[in-house]
Amino acid sequence: MEKFTENKKKILIALAAIFIVFFVVINRGRISHNREIEKEKVISIENVQDFHLTSKSILLWDNQTLYFCDKSGELLKKINKKEEDLEIFFTNNYAFIYDRDLRKLYEYSELGEHLNTIKVPADVYNIKYQNKNIIIHGKEKGTEYLYTLKVDGSLEEAYKSDNYIFDFDILEPKKNYAISEITTSATGYKSIFTYVLNGNKSSKDYMSEVGLYVNVKPSSAILITDKNLYRSTKEETIHKEIPNISDAIVDKNNLYLIHSGIISRYNKNLDEKEKYILAASGEKITKVSNSIYVYGKNDIGGEIGSKNEFYTRIGSSIEKVEINGLTIGALKEGRVTIYKVINSRGTNKNTLRDLSKEQDK
């Protein structure tokens, strides 16, 4: 009899455990924390012309002074330059002050440490951090150059062209890279797509198309134009017609596109696997904590495609928005406002939450 009672207890405990697991699975959407965006503060620095979010700081530029703030917006350090013709370039966790007259770049870490002073043999137009490489895009006497920046501040030429370089992705200089160029003639304009896969170089022309975005891996290269999506390997090129693309990100074997108010996810064969219709305006796309976020000049959408999808209006005529991790910055009329993505038990799905009235507080 005692043995029977003991077995009965074990059965009841097992049934209870199964019920708890079942309850959690069924109700995890109700008891989990949804996301929402809350305004944190307006940074006190005025006349800001540009800003950038890094992993540890917030950088602000007013055309003469570079400010370094912590992630809550408190000033840590500032660097003042008295030269007149200065520009700023931000990429990854770096800031570059550019003296166009002297063709000098002053490189700083995200916390304000001076890393290098770089003499560039061309006018600088863009700087990108790609695949652990810092790429400097310059132009001199009608020729455009891509340089990789070495640790000691020296430059190594990675690519040059007499055409306009529209976009580039350099995985390994001279071994794996993709370049989109554009050229014009009496017959019109065309994009030239040059890609190198494990040292094997190929080039293709696309008439009356503008190559907006490129991405490269050792086995394939992607070109996105204003009209089509292309994926090239050593063996073949496949394509899909997709007009009105405004932004794209590549995540492992997935390609996410924003086009005509829709986010589509494509696999490596360019098969559309998922499609999400956006409930608010968005031109840019990024990943935050493994979730898809979109943003534009007015709205931010988060957790796109999940049951916790939400939308927030942060203002009108925002000049620039950046997202880094769970921190969001927005520039308007010379001031930067900081927002945070937080957990909430509220139900936000497909509801546009309006924070725009708090913008100037």
Write down the residue that tokens 């390997």 correspond to: 233
Between CA 62 and CA 94, with CA 77 as vertex, the angle to 5 degrees is 70
Each residue's pLDDT, cut to its tens digit, for the chain (361 residues) gives 454 455 555 555 554 555 444 443 444 433 345 888 999 999 999 999 999 999 999 999 999 999 999 998 999 999 999 888 899 999 999 999 999 999 999 999 999 999 999 999 999 999 999 999 999 999 999 999 999 999 999 999 999 999 999 999 999 998 999 999 999 988 899 999 999 999 999 999 999 999 999 999 999 999 999 999 999 999 999 999 998 999 999 988 899 999 999 999 999 999 999 999 999 888 999 998 889 999 988 899 999 998 889 999 998 889 999 999 999 999 999 999 999 999 875 555 566 788 876 544 4
Here the tokens at position 313 are 């209006």
Determine the Cα–Cα distance for residues 314 and 310; give it in Å rounded to an integer. 13
- What does pTM read for this prediction? 0.86
pLDDT of 6 reads 56
pLDDT of 27 reads 42
Determine the Cα–Cα distance for residues 240 and 227; give it in Å rounded to an integer. 9
